[in-house]
Structure 1
Amino acid sequence: MRFVPLNSAREGSILGKSLIDENGNLLLKEGSVLTDRRIENLLEKGYSSVYIDDDYSDDEIEDIIKPEIRNKIAQKIKETFEFFSKDRQVSHKNSRIMYESMEELNNFAKNLVDELFSKSDIMISMVDIKNMDTYTYAHSVNVAVISLVIGIAAGLGRRELEDLTIGAMLHDVGKIFIPKSILNKPGALTDEEFRQIQEHTIEGYEYLKNCPIKSTSKIIALQHHLNVDGSGYPNYENTGLLHKFSRIVAIADVYDALTSDRSYRRAYSPSEAVEYIMSMASTKFDMDYVKLFVKKIVTYPVGSIVRLSDGKTGVVKSLNEGFPMRPVVELVEDRKLTQERIDLMEIKNIVIQQMVYDF
């Protein structure tokens, strides 16, 4: 299975991962054959990338949480955000519904912690597929999962991990108060539009003040766009007060955003996103958490086609734990696998230059 932009998917390709619409309904089942018409329909529905199975990528990429659990959490976040949007207009008259929603999300957070806490060797290799309509909700789930994995690597206890996870799920809640025309604008934002975007951190934090979750979870909504060098937003004079949860979520937030197709740019590959985050360590991001993050993210997932620095092409066949940029690669010649494998941990003078989607 490999992740490809839809415009690189060929007619006859086999869908490697089922597509679910914004209501949790099956849109296209795993194993379906992609025709030109189906590809066109997916593009019209706002999808830009898919997972496919082909002769180069028969290895299965497993998500670290079950797809049905991921979809349930995304749906609950969607329902919660929609309620928040309505509830704000009636001054919390429906507080019982809010408490019930928070309880359900807390239960999801606890279940995620229970499932992942003991998996010290867990790696994140799945890039999630989102369309424009479901972006905020799917993004919230991904940020929660990535933040949880970083938190586990950092040695946080179960209680802290639960608080981190629920805060990460709700980090973008302020976006429900921003017009969709601005959030999904394909072109450059005006100064006023960008100011409104920035307001989502304050708007979200102010709303969460009324929610029954820990203050350390709430602060993430306010601080996740603040940088360790004092830049970012909202204005915050003492970056030493940036909570560790906010520092973790900032990394997860940017990684998932970069690896997602947006109305104004194509998705970065995992390796491009990781390189960006590494380049911003100690200025935008906390260096210690970046080091943990890099060890947990699979930059070249199994099944990826890659171009090597010696000009050869290969398929990633297995990973070297702790060294995600130096996997084991099987070479390809004349569009066929050669069964010749090279371990980039052993051959130091060859590196991966880029991922290849069509060759």
Structure 2
Amino acid sequence: MRVHVTDLRPGDHIQQDAFNSNGVHVLRKGTILRMEDISKLLQHGIDYIDISPRQLAESIELLSDISESFRQVQPQFNLAFDGCRSMFEEAAMTGKFNESVVDDTFHPLVDSLSEQKDVVSLLLLFNGKDDYTYRHSIQVGMLSYYIAEWMGYSEQEAYDIGKAGFLHDIGKCRIPREILDKPGKLTPDEYEQVKLHTIYGYEMIYESTQDKITATVALQHHERGDGSGYPKAIGEDQIHPYAQICAVADVYSAMTTNRVYQSKQQLLTVLRELYGLSFGKLNGKATHAFIRQMLPYFIGKKVVLTTGESGIIVANNQSDYFRPLVQAGERFIDLSKEPDTEIQEILL
């Protein structure tokens, strides 16, 4: 059956080799399409493709497989959540935490992530409204691990960077809950107290593990390349590379997660803001690696537009990566050409 590329679904089988208008071979006959393959066809300007007839059972099975793959991650996420809470509570009482708890809870999560490349779906699935500090720590650990992998770090280095991200906010256990959970704007004095979590984190991690690099990540994850960060206002050449990766993950997670005093922002909007921050404040290589790898996984996601319409992201826009092409019913909406229309929410 011949279908338009925007009507393709993951799991479709293509019946012929796919070539673009210049004769470049794009996909082989028999390819079982993934979301990134559909994106590739769109980017090459291919309009129609021949696929094997779809069976209802196959479509249901595909959806079931996707759901099952994420269900397999859930126990490891819950384990990491419980471990994170346990570490925070122990550190609050004693000033230290049991190092073995970190590996016992974070390592199984990392192992389960090796089969989960759709980071956008992971963020949507595990972005609850409760216990922000623990969810944020897990997200920063996950994202730091992914970014390190995408930048070409070894598996062990990526794990170490992810673990540093997992621990980066441990110092917040010494900040009064009434400040962390305050629904309104912090006073200057309260903000100064919050900033101390970087120093507390360094002290707790080093005291507990003797790992100076991981401790340094906690100390420096709010430092910025232009010297505008804290606690020491140092420049990019003095910020540890692991801390620079963690900073990207930290900003993205913080801006896309529900907090007491701030509603989460839309995932693509935050990517655009990260891109702007990559010129001076956040490390450019880490930020661009993150954006480059994340963008393909927005294709196929359901969205709600500010017009009230519901649709599906069908292609990234080459002229503006953060304003994609959306199909809403029979209408195709190029958000780069409709500045008054925004994505209000991204759904699974």
Gap change, CA 1:251 and 1:236, over 3 Å in 2: same
| Whole-angstrom CA distance in 1 between matches of 2:323 and 2:345 | 19
> Equivalent residue for 1:68?
75
Gap change, CA 1:257 and 1:348, over 3 Å in 2: closer
TM-score by length of structure 1 reads 0.67
User: Once the two structures are superposed, what CA deviation does each residue of 1:55-112 show, in whole Å capped at 9, x if it has no partner?
Assistant: xxx9967759712211110110101110111112xxx6xxxxx4xx322322444444
Output the aligned Cα RMSD. Answer: 3.4
Note if contact 2:165-2:246 (Cα within 8 Å) is conserved in structure 1.
yes
> Equivalent residue for 2:120?
124
> Equivalent residue for 2:311?
315
User: Once the two structures are superposed, what CA deviation does each residue of 1:293-313 show, in whole Å capped at 9, x if it has no partner?
Assistant: 1123358474432449xx794
Note if contact 1:260-1:267 (Cα within 8 Å) is conserved in structure 2.
yes
User: Once the two structures are superposed, what CA deviation does each residue of 1:131-157 show, in whole Å capped at 9, x if it has no partner?
Assistant: 34x111111111111111111100011
- Does 2:295 match 1:305? no
**Offset at 1:317?**
5.4
Note if contact 2:199-2:231 (Cα within 8 Å) is conserved in structure 1.
yes
- Does 2:252 match 1:229? no
Matches within 5 A, 1:76-115: 76-88=83-95, 98=97, 101-115=98-112
| Whole-angstrom CA distance in 2 between matches of 1:260 and 1:173 | 18
| Whole-angstrom CA distance in 2 between matches of 1:283 and 1:302 | 33
- Does 2:255 match 1:258? yes
Question: Given residue 287 of structure 2, which amino acid in structure 1 is its aligned partner?
Answer: V
Aligned residue pairs total 278
Note if contact 1:175-1:200 (Cα within 8 Å) is conserved in structure 2.
yes
Gap change, CA 1:106 and 1:329, over 3 Å in 2: same
**Offset at 1:353?**
3.9
Question: Given residue 89 of structure 2, which amino acid in structure 1 is its aligned partner?
Answer: E
Matches within 5 A, 1:50-199: 63=70, 66-88=73-95, 98=97, 101-117=98-114, 122-125=118-121, 126-127=123-124, 128-132=126-130, 134-199=131-196
Note if contact 2:73-2:113 (Cα within 8 Å) is conserved in structure 1.
no
Note if contact 2:226-2:235 (Cα within 8 Å) is conserved in structure 1.
no
- Does 2:282 match 1:285? yes
Gap change, CA 1:146 and 1:210, over 3 Å in 2: same
| Whole-angstrom CA distance in 1 between matches of 2:118 and 2:160 | 20
| Whole-angstrom CA distance in 2 between matches of 1:260 and 1:315 | 23
| Whole-angstrom CA distance in 1 between matches of 2:299 and 2:214 | 31
Q: Secondary structure at the match of 2:231?
A: coil
Question: Given residue 302 of structure 2, which amino acid in structure 1 is its aligned partner?
Answer: S
> Equivalent residue for 1:354?
342
> Equivalent residue for 1:204?
201
**Offset at 1:291?**
0.6
| Whole-angstrom CA distance in 1 between matches of 2:228 and 2:336 | 37
- Ranges in structure 2 where 5+ consecutive residues have no aligned partner: 1-62
Structure number having the greater helix percentage: 2
**Offset at 1:192?**
0.9
From 272, 293, 296, the counterpart of 2:293: 296
Note if contact 1:297-1:324 (Cα within 8 Å) is conserved in structure 2.
no
TM-score by length of structure 2 reads 0.69
Q: Secondary structure at the match of 2:196?
A: helix
Gap change, CA 1:140 and 1:213, over 3 Å in 2: farther
Question: Given residue 167 of structure 1, which amino acid in structure 2 is its aligned partner?
Answer: A
| Whole-angstrom CA distance in 1 between matches of 2:220 and 2:78 | 27
Question: Given residue 220 of structure 2, which amino acid in structure 1 is its aligned partner?
Answer: Q
- Return 157-166 or 75-84, whichever deviates more: 157-166
Gap change, CA 1:130 and 1:137, over 3 Å in 2: same
User: Once the two structures are superposed, what CA deviation does each residue of 1:318-358 show, in whole Å capped at 9, x if it has no partner?
Assistant: 566999746664323xxxxx4x6x596xx985789422459
| Whole-angstrom CA distance in 1 between matches of 2:279 and 2:247 | 13
Note if contact 2:143-2:249 (Cα within 8 Å) is conserved in structure 1.
yes
Q: Percent identity?
A: 25
Note if contact 1:149-1:296 (Cα within 8 Å) is conserved in structure 2.
no
**Offset at 1:116?**
4.0
Gap change, CA 1:179 and 1:312, over 3 Å in 2: closer
| Whole-angstrom CA distance in 1 between matches of 2:304 and 2:308 | 9
Gap change, CA 1:331 and 1:289, over 3 Å in 2: same
- Return 237-246 or 253-262, whichever deviates more: 237-246
